[in-house]
Amino acid sequence: MGETKWELNKNKCRRNPLERNKFWCAWSCFSEADGSFVGAAFQRLTHVKSTLLAESLAARMGMEFAWTKGWRRVIVESDSKHLIHCLRGEYETPLEAEIIIGDILYLAQHMQVKFQHTSPVSNNVAHTIAHWDHGGLMESHWLDIPPHWLSTTLLHDLE
């Protein structure tokens, strides 16, 4: 396997429209450098109060997943400029995300990692996962074969 890249996304989710409390969810989509699907992951985040912390947790989830799969050359894409600047050392990391970003940078020392910003408009696959009805699941993973509801977005993403 050559280079693997993934897109990150986070958003506030609601299990049903009548539920008042929203919670953060982290999403990652993994693909080969040519764009072919490798996998996707979802994790419900509890007790998260900020966007940067949710983005950081999504990035760490992706880095840990890449490590366990044996991927050592990765591109991490996020539509959060703040996160990417923190990971590149261009911004001082806020205290709330310092430990999580430290974990990411520790893993990055043992891999070839490129952190890059992507436009929210081009983050279609991650946004499709974000709108998936997770039905209250705490986490889910898909490897090699995408779920049927993601296939159309993947086809358009490759065009």
pLDDT digits (tens, 9 = 90+) for 19-35: 445 667 777 778 777 77
Global confidence as pTM:
0.77
Q: Is the residue at 29 inside a domain?
A: yes
Please tell me the total count of domains within the chain. 1
| Helical pair 98-108 and 51-68, crossing angle rounded to 10 deg | 30
- pLDDT confidence of residue 5: 57
- pLDDT confidence of residue 107: 95
**Angle subtended at Cα 74 by Cα 150 and Cα 142, rounded to the nearest 5 degrees:** 30
Residues 6+ apart with CB under 8 A from 83: 52, 55, 56, 59
Q: Which of 132, 131, 130, 124 is nearest to 158 (CA)?
A: 124
- Each residue's pLDDT tens digit, 37-71: 787 777 777 778 788 888 898 889 888 888 888 88
Domain that holds residue 69: 4-13+22-153
- pLDDT confidence of residue 84: 95
Q: Is the pLDDT of residue 86 over 80?
A: yes
Q: Is the pLDDT of residue 92 over 90?
A: yes
Is the model more confident about 6 or about 73? 73
Q: Which of 76, 74, 59 is nearest to 110 (CA)?
A: 74
Beta strand pairing call for 112-117 and 73-78: parallel
Q: Is the residue at 107 inside a domain?
A: yes
Q: Which of 63-67, 102-106, 144-148 has the lowest mean pLDDT?
A: 144-148
Q: Which range has highest mean pLDDT (10-14, 18-22, 64-68, 88-92)?
A: 88-92
* CA 116 – CA 99 distance, rounded (Å): 20
Q: Is the residue at 158 inside a domain?
A: no
H helix intervals, the chain: 51-68, 81-87, 98-108, 124-130, 148-158
Q: What are phi and psi of 78, to 5 degrees?
A: -145, 150
Assign residue 79 the CATH number of its domain.
Answer: 3.30.420.10
Q: Is the residue at 159 inside a domain?
A: no
Q: Is the residue at 36 inside a domain?
A: yes
- pLDDT confidence of residue 144: 81
CB 79 within 8 A of CB 121: no
